[in-house]
Amino acid sequence: MLQNIQQAMETANEGGDIRPRNPGLALALSICPGLGHHYAGHLARGIIYYIGLVLISWLAAIAFMYVDSRISMIFLATPFVGVTLIALDAYRCAKNQPQDYKRRWFNRGYIYAGVFLTLAVTVNPIMDQIAGKHIVRAYFISSPGMHPTILTRDIILVNKMAFPEKSEIALIEFGDDEAGQLTKLDGSQLVGRIIGEPGDIVEVNAKGVYINGKQLYEPYASFQETTRTGPLYDETSHFGPEQVPKDAYFILADNRTYGFDSRILGFIEKAKIGGKVTKVFWSWNTEDGGLHWERTAMSLK
């Protein structure tokens, strides 16, 4: 059967009309990495480059999360550099093809369109979903609940491979119906800091936060935003003392006068914690001076 397929492909190649390859078109088609090589007559090479770019981009995203230095910004450029190099190689491949190049079976406009649409509509979204669910995902912050640690309109990165420890920032994921019912928010995610772990006795009162009877030192806490739930120390600001149950966590927003957290929602089940918030990917707020370069690639503590 394989011999029959190979023979059919060779026959199709032999019957192709002469169409010299246009290097500029190969370069333009490389906006979809690998498609320029497809046009230039190097189908297998294009497929390998496409898969390699995806894998390298994922590895660069992981490295960006774990490198606790501004030098990690280098990894942000990896996908763009990869696309550029692939496009230039497609240009070279097309330029090196002879003028009597015969179109092969895959050198058809409808095939190019089909490949592009398949990648755009199915393959890319699926790979993005896999990476976003299991590796890393970016989130846009639309409220000041974690101010001043995380600013409104920051884009943060969540490490889906790591579980946050005490005092670290966690992504909390609710179902759509649950989020609307409990928090009155449009989305289904919240961001908060883990304060109490299973077995801890937690208490929040007018004097501060207490864990197992000891007051917690919280340099990250803010009380300067406009209150969301009424007076600063109303019934929602008081909690406990109560023990954190098994497989649950007590989570507080850094902005204690605005953010939704365990004072309102109660203990957060472990299953709802969707990863560790590690870095600010990008920070832009036109109402607050525009681009905050100093926050780009900033690690969150």
Least confident of 42-51, 52-61, 70-79: 70-79
pTM for the whole structure = 0.74
Q: What is the CATH number of domain 137-299?
A: 2.10.109.10
- What integer is the mean pLDDT of 272-291? 81
Indicate the pLDDT class of residue 230, thresholds 50, 70 and 90: very low
Angle between helices 78-96 and 43-66 (to 10 degrees): 160
* Cβ atoms of residues 196 and 249 within 8 Å: yes
Of all residues in the chain, what percent carry a pLDDT higher than 90? 42
Confidence band, pLDDT 50/70/90 cuts, at residue 249 = very high
Q: What are the tokens at 175? A: 């179902």
Higher pLDDT, 270 or 176: 270
* Highest averaged pLDDT of the listed ranges 22-36, 129-143, 216-230: 22-36
Identify the bridge partners of residue 118 per DSSP, sorted by sequence position: none
Residue 158 tokens, joined: 């969540």
What's the rounded mean pLDDT across residues 181-203? 78
| Burial class of residue 162 (count of CB atoms within 10 Å of its CB; 0-12, 13-18, 19+) | middle
pLDDT at 1 over 70: no
Q: pLDDT category, 9, cuts 50, 70, 90?
A: very low
Instruction: Inform me whether the pLDDT recorded for 8 exceeds 70.
Output: no
Q: Select the highest-mean-pLDDT range: 57-66, 147-156, 175-184, 266-275.
A: 266-275
d(CA 212, CA 82): 52
Give the residue extent of every domain in the chain. Answer: 2-134, 137-299
Quote the pLDDT of residue 226.
56
pLDDT at 38 over 90: yes
Q: Residue 90: count other Cβ atoms within 10 Å of its Cβ.
A: 30
Report whether 49 contacts 85 (CB < 8 A): no
Say if residue 129's pLDDT is above 90: no
